[in-house]
Every structure is written in structure tokens, then in C-alpha cells.
Chains A and B, each alone.
Chain A
Amino acid sequence: MKGIEQFQQRLHYSVYPTQKFKTTTCLVSFAAPLSAETIADRALLPYVMEKATEAYPSIELFHTPLEQLYDASLYAGASKVGKEHVIQFQLEVVSDALVGEPVLSEAIKLLEEVLLRPNAYDGAFQPLIVEQEARLQRQRVESVYDDKMRFAQQRLQELLGGELAIPSFGTIAQLERVTPRTLFTAYESMIRHDRVDVYVVGDVNREQVTDAFAPLEGLGERFVRQYPQPVDREFQRLEEDQPINQSKLHLAYQVDIDPRSEDAVRMQVVNGLFGGFPHSKLFMNVREKESLAYYAASQYSSLSRMLFVYAGIDASNQAKTEAIIADQLADLQAGKFEDETLEQTKAMLYHQRRQLGDNPRQLIAWMSGSDIRPFSLEEEMAIIERTSRQDVAALANRLTLQAVYCLKGGTV
């Protein structure tokens, strides 16, 4: 994307100055190597930190000035990104010009309170907040069961093992061992050893950004981003029953492609033909032709070297649906698809890339992937444009079915 400025003081900054938005959006991210041992503490940490600070020691006291700043919104969260664990603090404020007040600088001060002066004493976070947030986190872990698509995807990833199988919030047993003290240890490690990146989109310039975030200079360490290597796996199949109406069929294909390569970009074309869009083979055949499903789609995760397929079906149609999915992939491998479908897929992929710049959060998500992704948006579009039928067939042959999970209903 043209117009993104990236530079390094001790922190790494990515800034996109623009006047087209009503907002200024800032994101500070902390990345550490993914580890099953620390994930429960790290996943809980942002929820505890965003609630209160030393100077504003309760939710009520801390959120009042945020509301007063035209709803300066602070979202904190954590996620697994390939081989890393990333904690993010996102601040979104109305742009100063629109309300005639210096909202941004005031809000950044509050964000810095969260990051530098948390609500902790003698090496421990305030127990009341930790207790409530840990309880809620346990509930989040358990309530995956209530969202059958998420549940099925989690079970599929457990079959695959490795980083994919590490539960995002930690296990219930791990969460029970989290204390105000272990959480503070995780906090100290985060600000000392994580890789810290700052992203800003809005009506700002470089100096304004570095001045505003100067108090964060000195945090963290720079290290090269890690990403998953290919894994040897045995094919796995698991079927489970639950008292539900619609069965959830989830498939995982390993993709033998380096996430930093041009092939990873071309693989987006393969995914688009397979199941990424309403014109894709899965939607057209599983849904439109056979009326087997309301949704049938695929998703390519370059970083985890996986392509996932999902469909919500009647339990009695499982074998038929699997056969149709396999046929669609075989067609791609044989180069059997219309020229027009290929062009349509490319047009949709251009569209997705061109519209990224219209949404500050999407733009930041794109920028935060740019140190693993060696191509600019324009370069990616050129690679997509050059992708041929032969490329698609060759790449489709690098998909290997690794796991099938079916959550079966119909026993109601």
C-alpha cells in the first residue's frame, strides 16, 4: 500500500497519515514466542490491564475519562499468530479536527497509564479484578461448546497438533493456577522481552506519533518473527455426536508452501476458486447445485500452512458432501475450471486488497503482517494477475488432506 511509513526508533513504527477518516486509530502490540506454559497468563493479561490503572484504580474511574473523550475506545486482547503470541492494545478516537479538542494526546496518555503504570502493587495485580476476569476467562473457554462452528474448528485443530492445538486462552487447569502474582510476572516479561510495534492510522505526522509514544521507548526487545515450519502428520479422522440439528463438517489440508513465497500469494487464487467466494466451487456445488448446505467455504491460512474447509450439513449427507468436496479439489488439480471463474476470482482478490485502505483496523491488520509478508499490496496484485491455470493446478496438488472432523447431530 502506498503511503505507509515504516521506521524504527527503538520501537518499530508503522504510520499511515490520512485525512479520510473521522478517527485516529493506534495499536500497540507485544509479541512473544508461543508457549503452552505462558499462554493462560498472557491471554488473561490484556483483559486485566484494560480495566484499571494505578492512577485510576477501578473500572469506573478508568473508563470515565475515556467516555469523556468522545468515547475513546480501548480494546485489549490476545491471539495466537503462527508461532507467536500477540497481545494488542487498540485505541480508537474521534479525530481532533472534528470535535475541536486534543482528544488523541489525552487518550494516548491513558493508554500509557495502562501499559506503564498498571493497577498493581508489590508484584501483584489487584486481586478483585484478577479474580473476576479469570472467572470470565474460564467461562469463555467453556462456552466454545455453545458455538458449534468454533467448537468443531477447535476439535479439528486439536487433531492437527502443534501450535494449532494450543488452546488460545489456555486450559481450565492452567487458568486455575493463574494468580495476581503470576499475572504480574507475565506483565513484566511482556514489557521487557516482547517485540513491541506501534501502528497509527489517521490525521497525524511522524513527529506527533514519536512524541506521543516516547514514553514507551525502551520497552521490549527486537527479534525476528518466527513462523511455523512444515510438519509431518498422520491423517486423522474423528466423528463425535451432540444433540444438535445441523452437523458441522470441518476438513484440514496441509499446504506445502512457504508463507513468504510468491506461491503463498498464488494460493489465494486456488482458495478463491475452491471455496473463498459465492462463485467458488464449494458454494456452487455443495450449496447451489446439491442444496446440501447453507454454508460451504474454504479459508487459507498461509502462516499456519493450512487450508480449512467448512460446511453445515445434515448428518445423513456427510459421505456425499465429503465426496463432492474431494471432486472439487480434483477438478482444480486437473485444471478443470472456466476461464471466467479464474478471472472472477482474481477480480475479487483485487477488490479485497483495494478496499483494505478504507478501514483503519483492516489497514493495521495488513501492516502488522507486513514483516512476514515480503510483498506490497501492489506487488501481490501483480502476482495474482500473473497466476495461470497451470499455476492453479500445480498448487492445488500441494494440498494434502490431513484431518476430517465431523460434529454429528440428528440425534435430537
Chain B
Amino acid sequence: MKLDFPNVGETLHHTVLENGLTVYLLKKSGYEKTYATFTTKYGSIDRRFKTGDWVDVPDGIAHFLEHKMFEKEDGDVFQQFGRLGASANAFTSFTRTAYLFGATSNVSENLKTLIDFVQTPYFTEASVEKEKGIIGQEIQMYQDNPGWRLYFGLIEAMYAEHPVNIDIAGTIDSISAITADDLYRCHQAFYHPSNMVLFVVGNIDPDAILAEISANQAAKTFDAPLLTAREVIEEPETVHMTERVIEMDVSVSKVMIGYKDTPRPGKDGMKQELIVELLMHALFDTTAPLYAELYAEGLIDDAFSFDYTSEETFAFAVLSMETPHVETFVDRITSALERPLELGSETLDRKKRMMKGQFLKALNSPEFIANQFSRYALSGGNMFDIPDLLDAITLDDLYAAYDRLFQADHRTVCVVKKP
């Protein structure tokens, strides 16, 4: 199916293959590079699931599996991509694992390599053991990173039950329990074509690429999907802990203020994400009255940032700052958010233009398109709807989001500071 999006100047080809694999192809004329992502809806939060019986797996296994997918009986997949002049990579998030390559030549061969290696598990006990040293160093590296510790400290304090409160890579202890059998079990459950999205963007011939992908998939046989359920978490709407202090040897204190939100799935979640982003831009951009006030007092500067995370089963807003005046900063921000919202349509219109501009600019990047489109697609949305969704948002939507999100018992403050 061919879908035109004239307001963003893109045309998308969309197909669901017989085995359930969702394929998106986007032609970018004039681009040298073709970029492809092969993404499974499987991340660090999927630690208990049903394939016949309920299965529990060690924390960090989705990320561990991502690492081990690159090793095959006949060598390392990085080498195969390298021989074809492509650079490959992968990442694991709370909810997704993505494998990807960028290539300026041999696109068909690289695409075949990508699909085949992700669909061909090969694990041995020896190679699993070897990986524990490498991932152990990765975990140690993040342990020394104050920004990472702050972010996970915040999430741990916000969430009582939801496994988003566990580090994506797990711990040195939890990964020590991982076996080759565990990896096979997770691959079988989550790497079925019906749980995955393939996105290819570049100066491609969409019909020819689709024919190659279809032939590749038709030549393989897949069992029926095994996964019948994922654990449903009962997470309170309010935060687990309101404060958290992490002591580290840092030069300047770092603080994050988190507000826990109610997640919404699918298209509604996409709309909610845009509403909260518009709201946060209106409240916290350099053009906001609060920013000017705090800037004059030396309480806010370019070190300040904000972000909204929205997935099917969790959502939260984060304000982040580095300052020696943590208490004053937190007090000023939180008390401002306890007052009623004052926001006019002029500001909303300007923020809509701004976000539309940001979105259009991001479409220069094949990486952004493939990664973000896949993220929305795996939860039932279409990224190219963003301009229309933005247009439909009203001031009332922002007022409602403000009252829902910025409640005192939805707030956690996490600080990293010197002992």
C-alpha cells in the first residue's frame, strides 16, 4: 500500500507479509545512504511472559540477547557488514530491540544479512560466558556516569512495581545467571516476524526491495507465534518515593524532577505525547516567563533540559538541571507548577509552529525516520500524522494535561551530589 503525506513531502510504502512481518519502505531521492532497522517489540521490561506456561527470565536479558545475536557459528556479523561496506549497530530500550545498518553500496546483500542474522539465533554456553565480561564493563561504565545514575535513580523512585525501574542492561549479578537456553527461549518468544517491523529508507526502488524481502521471508518457515501474554503490572498512579539522594564524587550537583503520568496506548498515546510536549515547551522554553525569572537569578541556564517519555505501559516527564542551588531550583519549579496554568492561544500557536518545524527538520535524518517511525508503528501509531495531530490540539487539552501531570503526589525529586 502506498501512502502519500504531502504536508511532510514523503511517500511511504506499507505491507504486512504473510508471516506477519510489517514492512515500511521510504524513498529519499538524492540520498547516498540506505538505512534499515529491524525492530522487535521486546525490551528490558519484558521479564515475565507466557509461551504456554509463564516464564521468568533474568534482568538484562533483552540487551544481552542483542549483543549475542551478532555472533554466529561462522564468525561475527559485524564482519559480514564490514565486507559489504556497511556500518551496523543495535540498541535495546525499555520496550524495543533494534538492529540496523547504513550502507552506501550493496544494499540488497546488506538487507539480506540484516534479516537473516536477526532471524537465525546461535548461542553457545562458552560465548555466553565470554559476553558477561564485556557487558560487565558496559555496566561499570554506566555506574560511573552521574547522568545515568540520576536518571535510573529517578525511575526507581517513581515506580514501585513496573520493571521500567530496572536498568536496561541488568546488573552484574542478574546477567551472571543468563544461559544459552534462556536466550533461545526469548528469541523464540519475541523475534517472531509478527512481533517485528522492518523499515528501509534511502534512495531505493521500493517495489524491488519489497520483492527481495518477500522472497527472503517466503523461503523460511516459522512456527505459529508462541507468545500469548506479557505480564500486566499493577502500578499505582502516584510515585513510589518522593525523594532520592545518590552520593557520588561529582563537581556540581545534578537534579531531576520527575512527574509520573498515566500511559495511554496507540494513537491516544501519540496525541498525549504531543500535548505534553507542547505544554512543556510553553512552560520551560527560554521564551517562557518562568525561564526569564529563574535566569535572572542564576537558577536556570543552558544546562537545563526537559523530556517526556511515553510508552504503552508507562509515561513520565523529566526536568533536569545541574546547579549548586538544588533546593532553591526545585522549590521554585515545583511551586510554580502548583499554581494554576496561565497560557494563551498565541503561545500555543507559536509552540505548534515550533514543534512542526522541529519535526520537519528531523525528517532530514534517515536514522530519525526509521527509528521513530518504528517506535510509533509498534504501538499502533503513524509518525507522519504528527503535523495533523498537532493542528488538532487545543488549549483545553493543555490545561487538562497540566492538571493531570503536575500533581504533588506524582512528583519525585532525585539528586546526585557529593557525600
- A residues whose Cβ falls under 8 Å from a Cβ of B: 18-23, 47, 58-60, 63-64, 67-73, 92-94, 98-99, 128, 131-133, 135-136, 139, 142-148, 242-246, 277-279, 287-288, 291-295, 312-314, 340, 343-344, 347-348, 350-351, 354-355, 357-360, 409
Contact = CB atoms under 8 A, between A and B. Distances in A.
B381 interface: no
A267 B22 CA distance: 43
A69 to B, nearest CB: 7
B140 A133 contact: no
B286 interface: yes
A242 B84 CA distance: 43
Nearest to B292: A60
Contact of A98 (B104, B252, B360): B360
A59 B286 contact: yes
Interface in B1-46: 9, 28-33
30 contacts: A20-B30, A23-B361, A59-B287, A60-B286, A63-B285, A67-B285, A70-B356, A71-B353, A71-B355, A71-B358, A93-B357, A98-B360, A99-B356, A136-B302, A136-B303, A144-B251, A245-B140, A246-B137, A246-B144, A291-B133, A294-B134, A294-B138, A344-B82, A347-B83, A350-B105, A351-B85, A354-B104, A355-B32, A355-B104, A358-B32
Nearest to A360: B364
B133 A292 contact: yes
Interface in B280-299: 285-289, 291-292, 295-296, 298
Contacts of A278: 78, 82, 88
B29 A20 contact: yes
Given A94-B357, A245-B144, A355-B33, A344 B79 contact: yes
Nearest to A68: B350
A93 B361 CA distance: 8
A47 B302 contact: yes
A326 to B, nearest CB: 21
Given A287-B134, A354-B32, A67 B351 contact: yes
B134 A70 contact: no
B175 interface: no
Contacts of B143: 245-246
Given A67-B285, A67-B350, A343-B83, A359 B364 contact: yes
A238 B131 CA distance: 31
A8 B25 CA distance: 42
A243 B350 CA distance: 47
B287 to A, nearest CB: 5
Interface of B: 9, 28-33, 76, 78-79, 82-88, 102-105, 130-135, 137-138, 140-141, 143-146, 249-252, 254, 285-289, 291-292, 295-296, 298, 301-303, 322, 350-351, 353-358, 360-361, 363-366
Contacts of A243: 249
B287 A67 contact: yes
A63 B9 contact: no
A291 B30 contact: no
A98 B87 contact: no
A23 B359 CA distance: 11
Contact of B130 (A19, A64, A291): A291
Contacts of A58: 292
A360 B28 CA distance: 15
Nearest to A347: B85
B144 A59 contact: no
A92 B363 CA distance: 13
Contact of B137 (A69, A93, A294): A294
B366 A313 contact: no
The 8 A-B pairs with the shortest beta carbon distances in the complex, nearest first, are A70-B357, A291-B133, A20-B30, A347-B85, A71-B357, A354-B104, A294-B138, A245-B140
Nearest to A291: B133
A132 B364 contact: no
A408 to B, nearest CB: 12
A94 B86 CA distance: 30
B250 A294 contact: no
A314 to B, nearest CB: 7
Given A20-B30, A59-B295, A348-B85, 16 more contacts: A20-B28, A20-B31, A59-B286, A67-B354, A69-B357, A70-B360, A94-B360, A135-B301, A143-B252, A245-B140, A246-B141, A291-B132, A344-B79, A350-B105, A354-B33, A359-B364
A106 to B, nearest CB: 13
Contacts of B353: 67-71
Contacts of A67: 285, 287, 350-351, 353-354
Contacts of A92: 361
Contacts of B355: 71
B300 to A, nearest CB: 9
Contacts of B32: 354-355, 357-358
Contact of A139 (B78, B79, B141, B322): B322
A98 B103 CA distance: 28
Nearest to B77: A278
Contacts of A344: 79, 82-83
Contacts of B145: 147-148
B364 A350 contact: no
Contacts of A293: 134, 137
B148 to A, nearest CB: 11
B348 to A, nearest CB: 12
Contacts of A351: 33, 85-87, 102-105
